[in-house]
């Protein structure tokens, strides 16, 4: 299929690549279907979440672990159920980025991550109760520090513990980020 994005141009995609957000993205609840578009620059950690339903709607996103390796939070049981999470390895976590005219003021929303079950292609934006995170976390300094060769590509959440073959425990399923024992 072909999508004419007003910002990215013509995008060719397969229907099975569409990620469905049953509740939409906050403030854009009417748009439910998105594509995760890779940045062709392998060293640039910014990707895009392009609406399939509205070609003018595009979110710049980043793997929050690239800018904040100790980023972690607990998923509520309702979120785990909504996303159909069975294994921690199915999770992809992204933060929406605002890129203002003054590039040095670029921010990532760490308070409301976008969580995707990559296996089911189902996503949800979750508002965290942890007030240690900001919806306007400045990121340019972290990006500059990591541009010297550290991983810049979005990836599944890092973890020192892995879910089991039969499915994760509640703690393994619901915790995202650094090992909870190290918090």
Structural domain boundaries in the chain: 2-176
* Whether this model's pTM surpasses 0.85: no
Of all residues in the chain, what percent carry a pLDDT higher than 90? 56
Residue 174 in tokens: 């619901």
Residue 102: half-sphere exposure toward Cβ, Cα within 13 Å = 3
Q: What is the mean pLDDT of residues 59-79?
A: 93
34 confidence band (pLDDT: 50, 70, 90): very high
**Distance between terminal CA atoms of the chain?**
45
Token look-up 């703690």 returns: 171
Q: Which class does domain 2-176 fall in?
A: mainly beta
**Coil vs helix vs strand at 123:** strand
Tens of pLDDT, residue by residue over 111-170, are 999 999 999 999 999 999 888 899 999 998 777 776 655 444 444 443 322 232 223 333
- What's the rounded Cα separation, in Å, for the pair 30 and 24? 6
Surface-to-core class of residue 14, CB atoms within 10 Å of its CB (0-12 exposed, 13-18 middle, 19+ buried): exposed
Contact by Cβ (8 Å): 34, 11: no
- What's the rounded Cα separation, in Å, for the pair 117 and 89? 9
């Amino acid at each position: 299929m072909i999508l004419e994005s007003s910002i990215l141009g013509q995008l060719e995609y397969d229907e099975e690549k569409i990620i469905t957000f049953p509740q939409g993205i906050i403030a854009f609840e009417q748009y439910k279907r998105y594509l995760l578009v890779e940045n062709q620059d392998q060293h640039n950690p910014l990707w895009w979440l392009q609406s399939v339903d509205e070609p003018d709607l595009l979110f710049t996103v980043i793997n929050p672990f690239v800018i904040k390796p100790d980023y972690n939070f607990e998923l509520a049981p309702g979120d785990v159920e909504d996303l159909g999470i069975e294994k921690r390895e199915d999770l992809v976590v992204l933060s929406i980025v605002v890129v203002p005219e003054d590039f040095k003021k670029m921010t990532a929303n760490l308070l409301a991550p976008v969580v995707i079950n990559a296996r089911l292609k189902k996503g949800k934006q979750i508002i965290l109760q942890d007030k240690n995170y900001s919806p306007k976390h400045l990121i340019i300094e972290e990006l500059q520090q990591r541009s010297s060769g550290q991983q810049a590509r979005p990836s599944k959440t890092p973890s020192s513990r892995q879910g089991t073959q039969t499915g994760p425990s509640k703690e393994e399923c619901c915790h995202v980020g650094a090992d909870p024992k190290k918090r």
